[in-house]
Amino acid sequence: MPEPTPVLPEVLAQIRALPASSRPLIICDVDEVVLHLIAHLEDYLHARELQFLQHQYRLTGNIGRQGDSQPLAAEDVRRLLLSFFDDVSHRQDMVPGAAAALNDLAETWDIVLLTNLPGGHNKPAREKLLGGMGIGFPVLTNSGPKGGAVAALAAGRPAPVVFIDDSPTNHSSVNASLPAALQIQFIADPRFRATMKAADHIDLLTGDWQETAVFIGDNLP
C-alpha cells in the first residue's frame, strides 16, 4: 500500500483560502469526470499522426506514432500534454449530466474541484469554461498524487468525505492518506472504463453522473 502523500505547500495555500464550513464534502476531479479529456486528447494525437497504443489507463508508455508500437519517451509525452492543455483547456466538452448532478448535490454538500493541471497556468481558462457551463465551484490545482490534498481538505469535516476521480494512482493515494473517504472512480470514456478493474478501496466504478448522484445520496447519513 502506498505511503500517505503530503500536501504540497501551494495546494495548502489554496485550501486555506476556502471559507470555513461544517458541511459534508465532495472532492471532485475535472478531466474525464466533469470535462471530457480522452476524446479531446485522441483527436489531438490523431492530428499529429499519434495514437493511444492501448485503451489502458496511463499516458506515459501508451502514446506512440500511428503504425508503430514503440511508445514515445516520457519527456516527449510531458511536452505533448503541456501543449495539449494549452490548446484545449478553454474548449473541453462537459461530460453529460455533470452540471445538473453537481448542482443538485450542492444543496446538501460542499463541492471542491481538485484538478491536476500541468503548470497550473491554464486555471483561469478552466474556471471560465466551467463557470460558463454552470459549474461554479472552487477549482484547486494540484500536481501529482492527490492523497495529501484530499486529507487536508477533509480535516475538520464531518464524514463522509467523497472523492471522485478517474485515476487509479490518485485513488490509491487517497486510500493511503484518507482511508475513510468514499471513493468513486469515474471514467467517462467507455473503452478505458471497460479495461479498468476496480481496486478493493473503490466503492463505485462508473461513467454515469446520475448513478453517481444516487450513490452519493444513498451514503449521506
Which residues is 165 bridged to in the sheet?
A: 185
Chain-centre distance of CA 51, in angstroms? 22
Is pLDDT above 90 for 26? yes
The domain locations on the chain are 9-36+93-218, 38-88
pTM, to two decimals: 0.94
Q: Which CATH architecture has domain 9-36+93-218?
A: 3-Layer(aba) Sandwich (3.40)
Is pLDDT above 90 for 59? no
The band of 1, judged by pLDDT with boundaries at 50, 70 and 90, is low
Contacts of 118 (CB under 8 A, 6+ apart): 78, 81, 82, 85, 143
Q: What sign does the CA torsion over 125, 213, 201, 162 have?
A: positive
Residue-wise pLDDT for 62-100, tens only, equals 899 998 888 999 999 989 998 999 999 999 999 999 999
pLDDT given at position 132: 97
For 116-120, which contacts have Cβ atoms below 8 Å and span 24 or more sequence positions?
Answer: 116/29, 116/31, 116/141, 116/142, 116/143, 116/144, 116/146, 116/170, 117/30, 117/85, 117/89, 117/141, 117/142, 118/78, 118/81, 118/82, 118/85, 118/143, 119/82, 119/85, 120/10
